[in-house]
Structure 1
Amino acid sequence: MRALTDLRWNNVGALSALSLAVGLWWLSAPSVAQKAQGKAPPPVPVKVAPVVVQDQALSLSAVGQVQASQQAVVRARIEGLLTEVRFTEGQVVRQGQVLARLDDRSLRAQVAQAQGELRRLQAQLDLAQLELQRTQGLVAASAVSTQQRDQQQAQVAQLQAQVQSQQASLSQAQTQLSYTVITAPFTGRVGLRQVDVGNVVRPTDAQGIVTLVQTQPLVVVFHAPQTRLADVRRATQQAGGAVVTVAEREGGPILARGRLQSTDNAVDAGSGTLKLKAELAPSGDRLWPGQFVTVDLSTGAMPGALTLPAKAVQRGLRGSVAWRVVQGQAQMVPVQPRWQSDAVVVIEPQPDGLKAGDLVVVDGQSRLKPQASVKVLDGTGAARATRQP
């Protein structure tokens, strides 16, 4: 009996020791829930850029099309057989230079016939005028009646009218003959020949013989959205026209410069844009009519502007915001844009807003929330240290 009692007391002591050990472990080690609650999320990788104060040049960028200042389809003005082509495709020709000739034998014969008829009538007129002079002398001597003199005067007037009519016929025949020689209406570059020697050409031919374009100077036509009409108005008010630069693509090398020449008289109701035209300085053969280019129109300047990259500005239901990085944390800052382009945004200075030198996020905003921890990456994607205020 005593042995049984001792065994019970031994079991109770063992259980007490085990409970004490479990309690000490529980107090010394944090629970799984406590671990999960105390673990912070990893920092969000972002790329940043500084806010700067600078003299910001204002410009308007658009896609434009290069056009010739003059363009003409060279056609025959009369129907005839094409006998000669005197240009090379792509050649630069001068105004008045002969481009083609038509068969002119029939028209030359008509001119010769009209000249002969004119000489015949002129001879009859000369004879009638001499006869009128003699008749007037005889009338003075009362040798003939005044009726004969009046008849002679009428005959002279009739012959004068016939001579005048024949001169018009001769002029018309000579004009028709001149149409057999096709010349360049202005200095420019010819395109591809549309018809070969031996074909009959007509004034109604849609493609004509060749297309001629004036490539010096060229013009560029582009469109400005109606939201930028204030910028366009400033550009048109600049003396001599606002400066225009043309590049093959955005950010590419400048191919030509020019001046804003004119604007359309109304905004297009379908697209909501205003058409503008600029004349370009001679640029050699770097631009061709019909080529699409990127146009940059200078609309003025904004000195001492507070600017940040356009990628840093996000727009939502409550307006525009930017994310500022301060001591490794993200802060959402409202911004009020004054002017913007595809590259930069000029904002209004505000007491609690962005200031020069602030770092704003330009990539990685989608994962940010206020007070989120961030890791700033450099251009290669590696983390870098940031200067803390």
Structure 2
Amino acid sequence: MTHRLILALILASLPIAGSAERIALTPVQVTDWKAVYGRIETRNRVPARARIGGTLTELQVTEGDMVAEGQLLAVIVDQKLGFQLSALEAQKIAIAAQLANAQAEVRRGEDLLKQGVTTVQRLDALRTQADVLAGQVSALEAQMDVTRQSQTEGQVLAPAAGRVLAVPVAKGAVILPGEAIATLAVGGSFLRLSVPERLASSLNEGDEIQIENGAVAGTGRLAKVYPLIENGRVTADVEVEALPDRFVDARVLVRLPVGSHAALVVPHSALATRSGLDFVGVETPSGVSLRTVVPGLHFTQDGVAQVEILSGLVAGDRILTVAPTAAQTATGGDHE
């Protein structure tokens, strides 16, 4: 049995050839994609810093924890503040006693002035001394309030809601004022790309980006292209809905549109594959014939799987949109 006879039997047995839709091929513009890696980054990295120096006595968070704004992260204790408060309290008691004595002297001076025993100048001096002592008491009270406020500032609070990225300190460590106790990721996350500069002219804000990375797979939007080129690469940011932020700086495979070219495209359903060869049913004046083709890029357009045909078809060919199922069995036999 010859190969031509086998092919004739195939075409004669096609049950779908009459019902499949026929379309005439015309070149269409196909987007060229460039695969690059992006990194998941947080919008803001906010450090939770110590406002006073001292010893870290409590540490209530660790890497990966979610925290709310104002949540207590750690407690720093400076024992010197307690001693300062005690010293100020003792000074206040001493000056308060002097103030009470000065106020008593003022009252006695007023009584003596009524009796004509003392002078107005002497009474004014007593009143001035009492006012000075009262001012010293007020100053000490203000210093005590400052010390108490410093004690409360030993509580390190979360500056914003987010995820804890790093905790570079340990319980019992000596902390300096301004030192970071934890670093928080706040404000959500986005993808940051580093693209070779030869592709910079093809990047446009608003372009759709394909993402191919497991749970993150989908599409995104090119939100910003930075004008500064460093080390031959351009930085760009991609907005992605519901982008997970569990792992910051994780690498994600994305595809960027970098151009387009004219190509012949057929529905994926039009292909029949057998023994490593791909066939498409083509309508000819003498009927339907199978033509061997070389497929290229596979992509989805308007929800339909499409395949670019590199060779085997020409513009104007009328093809079947559904592959002949019988061809997959018959073309698999040995040719004599």
Q: TM-score, normalised by structure 2?
A: 0.54
- The offset of 1:97, in angstroms, is 1.6
Asked if 1 retains the 8 angstrom alpha-carbon contact of 2:77 and 2:151, the reply is: no
1:211 aligned residue (180, 183, 193): 183
Q: Which runs of 5+ in 1 are unaligned?
A: 1-48, 236-241, 298-340, 346-353, 360-374
Aligned AA (1:268): L
Asked if 1 retains the 8 angstrom alpha-carbon contact of 2:35 and 2:255, the reply is: yes
Asked if 1 retains the 8 angstrom alpha-carbon contact of 2:46 and 2:184, the reply is: yes
Residue number in structure 2 paired with 1:165:
139
**Mapping for residues 46-195 of structure 1, pairs under 5 Å:** 51-52=27-28, 64-118=38-92, 120-122=94-96, 124-125=98-99, 128=102, 132=106, 144-195=118-169
How many percent of aligned residue pairs carry the same amino acid?
A: 22
Residue number in structure 1 paired with 2:218:
254
Aligned AA (2:228): D
- The offset of 1:194, in angstroms, is 3.1
Asked if 2 retains the 8 angstrom alpha-carbon contact of 1:217 and 1:282, the reply is: no
Distance 1:128 1:197 in 2: 51
Residue number in structure 1 paired with 2:322:
none
Q: Which runs of 5+ in 2 are unaligned?
A: 1-24, 267-290, 297-308, 318-336
Asked if 2 retains the 8 angstrom alpha-carbon contact of 1:259 and 1:280, the reply is: no
2:171 aligned residue (178, 197, 219): 197
Asked if 2 retains the 8 angstrom alpha-carbon contact of 1:72 and 1:211, the reply is: yes
Asked if 2 retains the 8 angstrom alpha-carbon contact of 1:244 and 1:295, the reply is: no
**Mapping for residues 341-352 of structure 1, pairs under 5 Å:** 341-342=257-258, 344-345=260-261
Q: TM-score, normalised by structure 1?
A: 0.48
- The structure with the larger Rg is 1
Q: 1:137 to 1:106 in 2, by over 3 A?
A: same
Asked if 2 retains the 8 angstrom alpha-carbon contact of 1:218 and 1:281, the reply is: no
The question of 1:290 aligning with 2:252 is answered no
Residue 165 of structure 1 aligns to a residue whose secondary structure is helix
Q: Which has the higher strand share?
A: 2
1:378 aligned residue (265, 290, 294): 294
Deviation digits for residues 167-208 of structure 1 (CA, Å, limit 9, x no counterpart) = 342133223322432222221212354333333333476xx4
Aligned residues: 255
Asked if 2 retains the 8 angstrom alpha-carbon contact of 1:263 and 1:276, the reply is: yes
Deviation digits for residues 213-244 of structure 1 (CA, Å, limit 9, x no counterpart) = 22x42244456869867975xx4xxxxxx587
CA RMSD in angstroms, aligned pairs only = 5.0
Q: 1:293 to 1:157 in 2, by over 3 A?
A: farther
**Mapping for residues 9-48 of structure 1, pairs under 5 Å:** none
- The offset of 1:379, in angstroms, is 1.9
Q: 1:96 to 1:378 in 2, by over 3 A?
A: same
Residue 42 of structure 2 aligns to a residue whose secondary structure is strand
Q: 1:247 to 1:102 in 2, by over 3 A?
A: same
